[in-house]
Every structure is written in structure tokens, then in C-alpha cells.
Structure 1
Amino acid sequence: MITKQLAEEIVEQTMIRLNRNLNVMDPNGMILASGEAERIEKIHEGAAHVAKSGETLSIAEEDLNNWHGVKPGINMPIHFQGKLVGVIGITGKPEELQEISTLVQLTTEMMVHQSLITSHVEWNRKRNELIFDELTSGKPLSAAVHERIFQMGLEGKISFVTLLIELKKMPSLSHRIIEQLEEQFSGHAVVAGHSQLNEIFLLVANDNPSELEAKLYNMLHFLQKNAPGRIGVGIMVDSIFDVRTSYLAARNALDFGTPGQQLIYYEDVELLALLKRNPEDEVAKFTGRILAGLNESLCQTLTTYFAANQSQGETADRLKIHRHTLGYRLKKIRDITGLDPSEFKDAVAMYLALALRS
């Protein structure tokens, strides 16, 4: 069915090119849009006849008495996927309109097709977003979502992983970005859509880790060129009904990934995420106790030391200081904290304290 908004757009766009009055009618013959505003929402008997017969109807001046609410012109059926969805009418002498009438009919059907196909895709996208919202809400699923999952054949033993794509800025044509991201997975994407502001989700059915990794790097390359951002990768789950677990893991990957890291697997931040879930005051007590007395310079030295896998030579190079200066700083850290960053147990405590501090 043609909406009033679409009818108005057809009339406006077509009249600009033809400089003739157009009417768009629904299958009942009611005028939805017209270049003559006074005719809108009135019944056009000629259009009602076209809708019933499916045939083009020409109305000349001498035929006006046979029809109510009409003017001379040509009225043609509008079809979408084989079904009549409306009628388009051009006002004027039929003999003068023969050459352009077919073109107007074809152009109108193309506009209708594009609009209704786009609406269908958008409707599917909204439905997918609702399904994903329910799957990740932690609440019981509605009967409608259960039915849709069954229709899509997702209730079986399939592996799923959630991807969250955080963009620096959401493009104006974000649906195009979503479509292109879906294409990166060549049919493996189950549902996709917007999850939060500047964030897109993809729920992917894929039980091949190496294939998934290759597709993720392709996706990252695409994002770098078209919509810069980063990707949080959740854990793989074996049931559509466990997607919440994968989603929360992807969320933690984004929340606890290091700044500048573009592809973040949950496994890389799992320990930090688990520790961060402790009460904030407990975390603060731990970091305060371990790092007590260390200034920012010494904390940065420690951070660089651990990033260099406790290699004093590489640490000194990264900090652009002499190895003797680094040795002095490490000794000072030992003296202040009572912990030795070169010893495994002490290093773990210091590393976690640095990672946890806000």
C-alpha cells in the first residue's frame, strides 16, 4: 500500500519534470496526493475502476458525465511485486499524454519499489534490534521473539559471537555502514543494527576461529577507511539463548581495552574486567596500598617496564633514559613500596594495581 507521504513525494518529484497535474490514489480510489490540493481525500471513480480492472483508463472531456470526481486525463495502475498498490493519474487531454503516460507509470513504479523495499529493509532492521535487545536483556523472551528465532532456524546447536563496533562518529548513512559490515561476513551475520549511540552490533554465526579472525581484520580495514572505530569481540557461545553472555563479554572488551587498541578480544581483558567488578572502594584500597608513595613518574616507569616484559634495556630505550637511571628508579620503587617489580608475585600485584587505578 502506498502511504500518503510516498504519494506526496511522487506527485512533487514528477510534477517538477512534467509541469502537469498528477494525482496518486489508493486502491479504493481516494486521492492521497495531488497538485490540486482541493481534490485530496476525495474519491476518484476512474481510479477506483482502474484498481478493480487493473487496466489503464483514459477519460476525455466527453466522458466526464460517466465518472464522479474526475477530470480529463489518463489513469494507470501502480504495481509492486505483482500486486496493485495504487493508481497514478495525469490530468490533460488523453491524446496529448500518450507518449509520456507509460514513462510516468514506469517512473512511479520504480519510486514505489525503491521506497517499499527500503521500508522493508528498515522494518527488518528494527525487528532485529528488538530481537537482540531481548536476547541481551536477561529477561524471559517474548513469544514473538521465540517464534522469529525458530523461523530463522537459530534454535539448533550453532556457535554465536557478538561483535560491538564503537565508531568515533556515527555516519549520517549508518544503515549503509551496517549493510557493508554484514557483507564482510558473507551470510554469517545473523542480526545487525544499532545498540547504542555511535555503536553497532553484529551477531555472527561462526564456529571457525581462524576464519572469524580473518574477517575481523577485513572489517577493521574497512572501518579505518570508511568509519574509524574499534571492535569489541565477545566470547563464543553454543546457543542463541546464551547470546547475553557473549554480548556482556564484548561490552567488557570495549570498556576495559587499552586506549588506541582497535581490535579487542574479551580474553585479553578478562582478568581486569573480573577485578573491576569488585566494589570501587575495595579496588581503591588495593591500588592505594600497593602504589602508596609512588609519584606519576615512577608509576609511568613501572607501566613501561611491564609493557617491555620487564626488560631493563627495552624499558630504558622506551623511556629514553640511561639504564643506570632506570636501575635507580626501580630501587626507589622497591624502597618505597617494599615490593620488587622483578619478582613474579610482586610484579603481578603492581601490574594489576596500575591497571585498576582510575
Structure 2
Amino acid sequence: MTPYITRALAQQIVDTVRDLCGQNVNFIDCSGTIFASTDESRIGTFHEIGREAAASGSVIEVRENDHFTGTQQGVNLPIYHNHKIIAVIGITGNPDDVQKYARLAERITRLLIREKELDAFNRTESEKKSYILRGLIDHEDIHPEYLRENLSRWNIDEKKSCQLLRLKIHSDNRPVLSASLDNAVSQLFKQLDCQLFTFVYPDEYLAVIEEAVFQRKRQFLMDFAQKYKDALWIAVGNPAFIHEIYDSAFSAEIALKSMPAGCSYVEAASLDLELILASINSRSKKAFLAKTLDKLSSEDLKLLHIYFSCDMSLKKTCEETFLHKNTVQYRLNQIYKKCGCNPREFRDAVRLYLALKM
């Protein structure tokens, strides 16, 4: 496997070396771009001597009377791994004083790369799947070749659309997650030909399924959700390519949160308003809720949920709540008095409905 240096690892190295020598340290890629530095303002800028050091494969010292683009006095030392230059470390300062720290940074880098290689090699298959899937969802750095190698081995086509499945275990089942349920989920993934999946402690399974396979086996998944409705919920994210699976994961999460009471299965494709509301920032949501629902009791909110699920029909709401029509009307009027929004008027009802959805 080809070695790699993530931005996080490079930043860890430059910070460590800076603590030792007290000088600014840069990590420079072979094109001359600084991708980690103890001076944040330099990240992403061009380092001319860094590019030259990578191209020539030799250490370049910069003295005070030298002038190069994006370069200061110091030492720029190429880092080799498996006979290949993978980056350049630059340390600002008098070259005679800081050269030893550049050598130390090189050794630290090679040791950490080797440690990462061994860690990746020694991971079990399930650990690799967990690392890659959660990394893709969380936008973490995964070396492209390592990712490509494993996706190919799992027969996951990067050019085919796929979807993220979220299987959420009911909270009351978490402490006693049975082996039978775990086995049933494993069998489900086999039936759906899911090669990339993991369990996220304490209560969720994540899996990637090809869109074409999902279209063929949707009913099978729905039947599974119905069979195990007392144990878990299933949400299906919108289609996306594997490198953008975080979008599918996000839509599946919204679908899960928006699942109607009594249901055990939902698809993000069936959502519209929920996805829009999910994009609103928390500050705006808080301000809107303060104007609408904050003064209402839990009983008021429960009544509103039922009232809107009955399409604002008093008759249906009475049937669902076993309350007299006058009682329902009285309670709706009390809600109006508390929050200033009349549930029986369209515009105010829309405000209350949106607030409940938030």
C-alpha cells in the first residue's frame, strides 16, 4: 500500500517540531503548496523552494540574501518513502541552527507513516469497513489509493449510484441487543448484497447498497422493517456516488428523525419539507420556536400533532382523542391565547405545523 500523509498528521508533525525548536515549520507537497504549517496564514500558499527541493530531491538552504516566492530563510528537506519523494519539510531560521530539527522532522514523519501502514494492514476486515464507511460519512481524510484498493476488493463501483441505509435500534432494546437480531441484520445485508457496512455503538447499523439493487429489493427491505418493527427503524438515503455518500447519510438521518409515529420504514425520497427545514441553522430554528411553541405544554403539542395528522378536521381529531368537539375547540382556543397563533386559521396553522416539524 502506498504511504500517505493526511493534513491532520502533517499538522501534528509541524506542531511537534515547532515545540522542540521554537521556529515555524511547513509541510509542503511536491507541487510546492503548503498544506500544513505552524503559521496558519501560510497554509494553501505557494512555496517556490519547496517545489524545487521536491523536484531535485535534495536539501535546499535559504540564506538571508536569497529571494524566492513564498520562501523565508531556513532549511527545506525532501521526505522519501519507498525511494519516492512524498513531501518537503521547511523550517524557518538560520540553516546552521535548524538543520538538525529538519532531520528530526523527517525521521518523525517516516516513523508515523510506517505506523499508519502497519495499522491499516493489521485492521480486520470489519475494522476496515467501519473505518472507511465512517470516514466517508464524516469527511475524514482517507488516502485515495487505500480507499480505491478496498472499494475494488469489495466490488463497489465508484461510478455507480448507491444509497445509505440506517438501521436504528429502539432505545429500549439497546441494553439487550440480541444475537438473533444482529444475525438477522447480517443476513439482511447479504440478501441486499451490501459489501460495505458497520455497526455504530450503541444503536445503529450503517450499510451501502447499490441503487439498482435497492430498486429490485425495496419490498424485501420493507418486509424486514415490518417484521422487526418492535426492534428497529430503517431509513434509506437519497442516491449518491460512493465518494458523496455523506449526502445520502444526511438525508437518511433526516428521514429517520421525520419518521411518522407507528412506522418502521422511511425513504428520504419521500421527504420534501423535512429536507428544507433541516438546512435551517439552529439559531433561526430557536428564534422561530420561541415565537410559536415555547409557551405550549406537552399536552398542547400532542393535540396539535393529532390535529394536523387529521388534516385540521375537528371531527377526526375528536375521534382520535376521544374528546368532545367543544373540548377540542376550547383547547385549540387556549393554544391561540398562549402563543398567538390560531391553529384553525391557515396561515397560523402553517407556522405551527412548521414549528412542530422542526
Task: Please classify the TM superposition score into its range, dividing by the shorter chain length.
Answer: 0.5 to 0.7
Structure 2 counterpart of 1:323? 325
Q: Structure 1 pair 213/322, CA: closer, same or farther in 2 (3 Å)? A: same
CA contact (8 A) 1:256 1:273 kept: no
User: Post-superposition shift, 1:182?
Assistant: 1.7
Structure 2 counterpart of 1:352? 354
Report the residue type matching 1:203 in the other structure: V
Q: Structure 1 pair 221/333, CA: closer, same or farther in 2 (3 Å)? A: closer
RMSD: 3.0
So what's the TM-score if we normalise by structure 1?
0.55
Q: Structure 1 pair 175/351, CA: closer, same or farther in 2 (3 Å)? A: closer
Partners of 2:178 and 2:288 lie apart in 1 by 42
Structure 2 counterpart of 1:234? 237
CA contact (8 A) 1:290 1:349 kept: yes
More displaced 10-residue stretch of structure 1: 287-296 or 155-164: 287-296
Partners of 1:299 and 1:240 lie apart in 2 by 40
Partner of 2:239, secondary structure, is coil
Structure 2 counterpart of 1:312? 314
CA contact (8 A) 1:164 1:231 kept: yes
Structure 2 counterpart of 1:341? 343
Percent identity between the two aligned chains: 20
State how 1:114-193 maps to structure 2 within 5 Å.
123-142=124-143, 143-167=145-169, 168-169=173-174, 170-172=177-179, 176-185=183-192, 187=193, 189-193=194-198
Asked if residue 207 in structure 1 is aligned to residue 218 in structure 2, the reply is no
User: Post-superposition shift, 1:204?
Assistant: 0.6
Report the residue type matching 1:127 in the other structure: K
Deviations 1:210-251 (A, max 9, x none): 534302212214535xx82111221111x2211121122223
Q: Structure 1 pair 136/333, CA: closer, same or farther in 2 (3 Å)? A: closer
Partners of 1:296 and 1:221 lie apart in 2 by 29
CA contact (8 A) 2:251 2:275 kept: no
Q: Post-superposition, which runs of at least 4 consecutive aligned residues in structure 1 deviate over 6 A?
A: none
User: Post-superposition shift, 1:295?
Assistant: 4.1
Q: Structure 1 pair 196/232, CA: closer, same or farther in 2 (3 Å)? A: farther
Partners of 2:278 and 2:211 lie apart in 1 by 30
Partners of 2:205 and 2:340 lie apart in 1 by 46
Asked if residue 194 in structure 1 is aligned to residue 195 in structure 2, the reply is no
CA contact (8 A) 2:315 2:325 kept: yes
CA contact (8 A) 2:165 2:208 kept: yes
Structure 2 counterpart of 1:49? none
User: Post-superposition shift, 1:306?
Assistant: 0.3
- Residue ranges of structure 1 left out of the alignment (5+ in a row): 1-121
Q: Structure 1 pair 279/318, CA: closer, same or farther in 2 (3 Å)? A: same
Q: Structure 1 pair 218/291, CA: closer, same or farther in 2 (3 Å)? A: closer
Deviations 1:27-49 (A, max 9, x none): xxxxxxxxxxxxxxxxxxxxxxx
State how 1:78-89 maps to structure 2 within 5 Å.
none
Partners of 2:220 and 2:168 lie apart in 1 by 17
Partners of 2:313 and 2:357 lie apart in 1 by 19
Structure 1 counterpart of 2:247? 245
Partners of 2:340 and 2:245 lie apart in 1 by 45
- Residue ranges of structure 2 left out of the alignment (5+ in a row): 1-122
Deviations 1:265-308 (A, max 9, x none): 33456644653554544323312212365444433332211011
Structure 1 counterpart of 2:266? 264
CA contact (8 A) 2:154 2:196 kept: no
Q: Structure 1 pair 277/249, CA: closer, same or farther in 2 (3 Å)? A: same
Partner of 1:207, secondary structure, is helix
Structure 2 counterpart of 1:72? none
Report the residue type matching 2:187 in the other structure: Q
Partners of 1:174 and 1:228 lie apart in 2 by 8
CA contact (8 A) 1:234 1:248 kept: yes
Report the residue type matching 2:285 in the other structure: V
* Structure showing greater Rg: 1
CA contact (8 A) 1:257 1:269 kept: no
So what's the TM-score if we normalise by structure 2?
0.55
Partners of 2:208 and 2:214 lie apart in 1 by 15
User: Post-superposition shift, 1:150?
Assistant: 3.2
Deviations 1:126-166 (A, max 9, x none): 33222212322313431211122234443353221111112
Partner of 1:261, secondary structure, is coil
Q: Structure 1 pair 311/240, CA: closer, same or farther in 2 (3 Å)? A: same
